[in-house]
Amino acid sequence: MAQAHCQKPGAHVALNPRPRQIHASGPLRGRVAVPGDKSISHRALMLSALAVGESRIEGLLEGEDVLATAAAMRAMGATITRGDDGIWTVHGVGVGGLMQPATALDMGNSGTSTRLLMGLVASHDITVTFIGDASLTSRPMARVIDPLSQMGADITASPGGRLPLMVRGLNPAVPITYTLPVASAQVKSAILLAGLNTPGTTRVIEPVATRDHSERMLAGFGADLTVEQTPEGRVISLVGEAELKPQQIVVPGDPSSAAFLVVAATIVPGSDVVVANVGLNPTRAGIFTALRMMGADITELDPRTVGGEPVADLRVRHAKLTAIEVPADLAPSMIDEYPILFVAAACATGTTVARGAHELRVKESDRIAAMAAALGEIGVRTEEYDDGLAIHGSGGAGLPGGGTIATKLDHRIAMSLSVAALVSDRPVEIDDASPIATSYPIFFASLDALRGTNDVAAA
């Protein structure tokens, strides 16, 4: 059934909003690279900071979320610098060596930073206060608080299990076996990171597999980690009091960022684009599976492995899309890409139904309600469910457009509606484009390069 949802007053108010007006586009042409993968960038900084010695990271995403992680690791003792060549160098403190930060850690808009760092702190003998912006402060943290409390951390949160919150770590912490009640790579990763400094074996059981960047990278740094498929699901076991070895890391392009350009090239007539160096980890690539099911023309060029992750260049040409019922089992591998999938569905023939995505309610915004409202503002009919949307497509015709989009401080809402504007009959105004800097600071520059124009202008 359709649902009505109210936002907490003041929860999505920007201090210095930067509105933008986006106009329709001619064909997108050319080759473009997207910034480094956000999930991998966070983990690369954290694990490098826990290794003994010097790690080097190439291709790190320099968005606000990742920079918040870098600042937090510096505050807890790691030495982190950026060279003029764009390569980041990290001198770690070793597992168990995190220091008491002098002030609260400001996580900005980054839920990943917050939840994973809570895990790191939980098994160290330090006390850390986490704060964030209005959007992050509205997001629940109970799903991380529960298992970390079982490991012995003392966590005091604001009402509703929200930020600001304080974590008093316990050393030695208590190893646990924890079955994830919801599919969440962030919860899994927080527990495994806490397990690094916990004697004994910490286990996480995943009934539904989620993105596996933490497992790949922990193993790469030398942690004693095993993964077993069982009737109960994936069982990830980590032997604690680990000694991590410094690494040379190359971060592939972020598939979540690439998805915006892939959809743009798919829906804008005459387009032919190559998006270079895209990470295609199977636990992250669900958006490309869904788009191909709809008829998208996506070809993988030069498939290769970079830093243990599958990578390829994606050639994307305009294609007519047909509505589908999105398989619910794709949700864990494309949870961040639903907003841009909804835009693709708005341009398809028929009604696309996407269900099984409850997690969208607790992202940077309530992405189901926010996208239903945003699509409605540009003339797209939708039906809202508790776990997704039905989107009535235009049959390939241009979208009506017009209106001003409330982005709710959510970078993916802002970018998704910017892509929708490229095929809209009237310009679309984004009420605040500033959150885009959290994950894709050069998003508009990438679009301009493919458009061969510079008419994506500030309003």
Give the pLDDT mean for 359-387.
92
pLDDT digits (tens, 9 = 90+) for 214-266: 999 999 999 999 999 999 999 999 999 999 999 999 999 999 999 999 999 99
**What is residue 350's predicted lDDT score, i.e. its pLDDT?**
98
**Average pLDDT of the residues in 324-340:** 93
Where do the structural domains in the chain lie, given as residue ranges? 20-36+252-458, 38-249
- Check pLDDT > 50 for residue 444: yes
The pLDDT tens digits of the residues spanning 6-47 come to: 333 333 444 588 999 999 989 999 999 999 999 999 999 999
- In degrees, rounded to 5, the angle at the alpha carbon of residue 170 between the alpha carbons of residues 192 and 142 is 60
Neighbour count for residue 16 (Cβ, 10 Å): 6
pLDDT in tens, 265-321: 999 999 999 999 999 999 999 999 999 999 999 999 999 988 778 999 999 999 999
Q: Which helix (H) or strand (E) segment is 402 a member of?
A: none
Q: What share of the chain is helix, strand, coil (3-state, %, to 5)?
A: 35, 25, 40
- Tell me the CATH class for 38-249: alpha beta
Residue range 157-188, pLDDT digits in tens: 999 999 999 999 999 999 999 999 988 999 99
- Residue 4 pLDDT > 50: no
Q: Residues comprising the binding site for 3-phosphoshikimate? A: 38-39, 43, 184, 186, 336, 363
Encoded amino acid at 421, one letter? A
Mean pLDDT of 391-413: 95
pLDDT of residue 307: 74
Q: What is the pLDDT of residue 362?
A: 73
Question: Could you tell me if 290 and 334 are in contact, meaning their C-beta atoms sit under 8 angstroms apart?
Answer: yes
Query: From its phi and psi, is residue 302 left (phi > 0), alpha (psi between -120 and 50) or beta?
Result: left
Strands, E, within 240-381: which ranges?
248-250, 272-279, 297-306, 309-317, 325-326, 351-354
- How confident is the model over 104-129, as pLDDT tens digits? 999 998 999 999 999 999 999 999 99
End-to-end CA distance of the chain: 37
Is 336 labeled as catalytic in the residue annotation? yes
Other Cβ atoms closer than 10 A to 282: 12
Query: How confident is the model at residue 360, as a pLDDT?
Result: 87
Output the DSSP codes for 382-394.
EEEETTEEEEE--
Enter the tokens of residue 112. 């990943």
Torsion of Cα atoms, 248 then 249 then 250 then 255, to 10°:
170
Q: For residue 102, what are the CA distances in angstroms to 71, 75, 125, 127? A: 12, 7, 14, 10
Cα torsion 339, 341, 345, 351: sign:
negative
Torsion, CA 363, CA 368, CA 373, CA 376, rounded to 10? 140
With 80 as the cut, is the pLDDT of residue 2 above it? no
For domain 20-36+252-458, give its CATH number from 3.65.10.10, 3.10.20.30, 3.40.50.10800, 3.10.150.10.
3.65.10.10
Q: Which helix H or strand E contains 202, and what residues bound it?
A: strand 201-206
Whole-number Å distance between alpha carbons of 297 and 287: 13
User: Do 20-36+252-458 and 38-249 fold alike per CATH?
Assistant: yes
Q: What pLDDT shows up at residue 328?
A: 92
Cα–Cα distance for residue pair 169/96, rounded to 1 Å: 11
| Annotated catalytic residue, options 37, 212, 313, 336 | 336
| pLDDT, mean over the chain | 93
Percent of the chain scoring above 70 in pLDDT = 95
3-state DSSP call for residue 276?
strand
**DSSP tag of 34:** P
Any idea which residue has 């989009």 for tokens?
405
More confident residue, 1 or 84: 84
Backbone φ/ψ region at 458: left (φ over 0), alpha (ψ -120 to 50), beta:
beta
Mind giving me the DSSP string for 61-95? --SHHHHHHHHHHHHTT-EEEE-TTS-EEEE---T
Q: Coil, strand or helix: which one is 113?
A: helix
Question: Is the predicted pLDDT of residue 339 greater than 50, yes or no?
Answer: yes
